Amino acid sequence: MKIIVTGGAGFIGSHVVDTYIRAGHRVSIIDNLSTGSRRNINPRAKFYKADIRDPQSIEKILKNVKPDVVNHHAALASVIASIKNPNATFEVNVLGTVNLLRAFGTIKNAEKFIFISTGGAMYTTTKLPASEKIPPSPLSPYGLSKLLGEETVKFYAHTLGFNFSIFRYANVYGPRQNPHGEAGVVAIFKEQMKRGERPTIFGDGTKARDYVYVEDLAKASVAALTKGNGGLFNFGLGKLVTDKQVFDTVAEAVGFRKTPRFAPVRPGEVQKISLDAGLARRVLGWKPTTSFEEGVRQVASSK
Ligand SMILES: NC(=O)c1ccc[n+]([C@@H]2O[C@H](COP(=O)([O-])OP(=O)(O)OC[C@H]3O[C@@H](n4cnc5c(N)ncnc54)[C@H](O)[C@@H]3O)[C@@H](O)[C@H]2O)c1
């Protein structure tokens, strides 16, 4: 298949590109390299440096590539940045998505749009692990932008006539995650510990997340090429890992002996979230195989 992966120079998108290429697909990448890097780009993919906020260049690229599938990972993915500057987040995550959807609708062979959303920033519930049946209640402009993005996908898929799947990811970690942002705690802790610095835990260490290993997740994008049309799926291990457990697991993997620093909780962050991936397992056959401890060891030994 001919597939465009937006955000294919970023952390998760680049693993999705690699997985598609290994499965024999022809992949093009659209990325503006704002948080992504040329180092992550698979040499067998065609790279278009472009901004999804620019409808003309997006239309031109899609007309040129004529993709069967668009897998849309490009986004501003930071909760904290979305609170500081919500407009930028809405412009990329909502209007950028609209530009892609409208351009995709002009392609004759347009088959399917796969939209990457968030589960980690979508629910405020104590019913954990959260299934897709829990009504969304985002706490941040980032979560809201993804919810609006999901609705634009449903609208344009129905009106322009192509299939879609929506993926709500839990916290993703793995090799190539940027350690210099505000999110990506495994990568951040690893870098700081390797420099001998004491990482900061925001809160008392009991805030908890569901961590899914990036290579496990990338397999879902392959399954969605043939399955899951019209579906919305949560992805996670269904397990809560506290911030203190993340600290301890990374410390163990890199041999760090000092204690963490503690700072006040940041606004917009959910206290506890884990996701029920039962639907993804049943419909897409998705099965994560990497435990948190094993995944952290992989990260610790990666560059
Ligand atoms: N990392 C997580 O834990 C997590 C959890 C849930 C959902 N997600 C979603 O997964 C996707 C990928 O996230 P990631 O963690 O790999 O982040 P990332 O920042 O590494 O990747 C995002 C990519 O999008 C590109 N991009 C940003 N704005 C763009 C624009 N205007 N035009 C073109 N390209 C642009 C960036 O350069 C980058 O390569 C995002 O949609 C994010 O919201 C991530």
CATH number, domain containing residue 84: 3.40.50.720
In this predicted structure, the answer to whether residue 83 has a pLDDT above a threshold of 90 is: yes
pLDDT category, 183, cuts 50, 70, 90?
A: confident
5-39 per-residue burial string, b: 16 or more CB within 10 A, e: under 16: bbbbbbbbbbbbbbbbbeeebbbbbbbbeebbeee
Q: Do residue 147 and residue 25 come from a single domain?
A: yes
Q: What is the pLDDT at residue 6?
A: 98
Same domain? For 150 and 263 the reply is no
Domain count, the chain: 2
Our answer on whether the CB atom of 31 is closer than 6 Å to any ligand 1 atom is yes
**pLDDT beyond 90 at 174:** yes
Ligand 1 center from residue 79 Cα (angstroms): 12
Question: Per-residue confidence at 244, pLDDT binned at 50, 70, 90?
Answer: very high
Q: What is the pLDDT of residue 234?
A: 98
Q: What was the pLDDT predicted at 82?
A: 95
| Rounded CA separation 246/186 (Å) | 7
Indicate the length of the chain as a whole number. Answer: 303
Amino acid symbol at 135: P
C-beta of residue 1 within 8 angstroms of C-beta of residue 28:
no
Residues 84 and 123 grouped into a single domain: yes
Pairing state of beta strands 112-118 and 26-31?
Answer: unpaired
pLDDT of 65 higher than 80: yes
145 lines ligand 1 (CB under 6 A): no
Three-state SS annotation for the chain: CEEEEECCCCHHHHHHHHHHHHCCCEEEEEECCCCCCHHHCCCCCEEEECCCCCHHHHHHHHHHHCCCEEEECCCCCCHHHHHHCHHHHHHHHHHHHHHHHHHHCCCCCCCEEEEEEECCCCCCCCCCCECCCCCCCCCCHHHHHHHHHHHHHHHHHHHHCCEEEEEEECEEECCCCCCCCCCCHHHHHHHHHHCCCCCEEECCCCCEECEEEHHHHHHHHHHCCCCCCCEEEEECCCCCEEHHHHHHHHHHHHCCCCCCEEECCCCCCCCECCECCHHHHHHHCCCCCCCHHHHHHHHHHCC
For the chain, the average pLDDT equals 96
| Mean pLDDT value of segment 227-234 | 98
18 with 163, same domain: the answer is yes
Longest dimension (CA), the chain: 59
Question: How far does the centroid of ligand 1 lie from the alpha carbon of residue 10, in Å?
Answer: 6
Same domain, 224 and 77: yes
Give pLDDT, residue 264. 95
Residue 269: pLDDT band by 50, 70, 90 thresholds?
confident
- Residues 76, 158, single domain; the answer is yes
Give 206's pLDDT tier (boundaries 50, 70, 90): very high
Average pLDDT over residues 182-208: 94
Residues 85 and 227 in one domain: yes
pLDDT at position 266: 87
Q: What is the mean pLDDT of residues 3-32?
A: 98
Q: Residue 253's pLDDT is what?
A: 96
Indicate if the pLDDT at residue 265 is higher than 80: yes
Q: What is the domain-level CATH number for residue 243?
A: 3.90.25.10
Q: Which of 33-37, 118-122, 178-182 has the lowest mean pLDDT?
A: 178-182
Going edge to edge, which strands form the sheet with 26-31? 46-49, 26-31, 2-6, 69-72, 112-118, 163-169, 231-235
Say whether both 113 and 256 belong to one domain: no
Residues 24 and 125 in one domain: yes
Q: Note the pLDDT of residue 190.
A: 97
Distance 73 CA to ligand 1 centre (A): 6
pLDDT in tens, 272-303: 999 999 999 999 999 999 999 999 999 999 87
Q: Is the CB of 9 under 6 A from ligand 1?
A: yes
Domain extent for 137: 2-172+213-237+276-283
How far from chain centre, in Å, is Cα 98?
18
Torsion of CA 86, 92, 93, 94, to 10 degrees: 90
Residues 121 and 77 in one domain: yes
By annotation, the residues acting in catalysis are 142
Q: Report the candidate in 2, 61, 56 with the shortest Cα–Cα distance to residue 31.
A: 61
* pLDDT tens string 89-105: 999 999 999 999 999 99
At 263, list the tokens: 């700072």
Query: Do 58 and 161 belong together in one domain?
Result: yes
Distance CA 10, CA 174 (A): 12
Q: Tell whether ligand 1 has an atom less than 6 A from the beta carbon of residue 35.
A: yes
Query: Is pLDDT at 85 greater than 90 in this prediction?
Result: yes
Read off the pLDDT band of 60 (50, 70, 90). very high
Note whether 93 and 141 are same-domain residues: yes
Kindly state the tokens that stand for 22.
Answer: 């290994």
Which ligand 1 atom is nearest residue 181's CA? 19
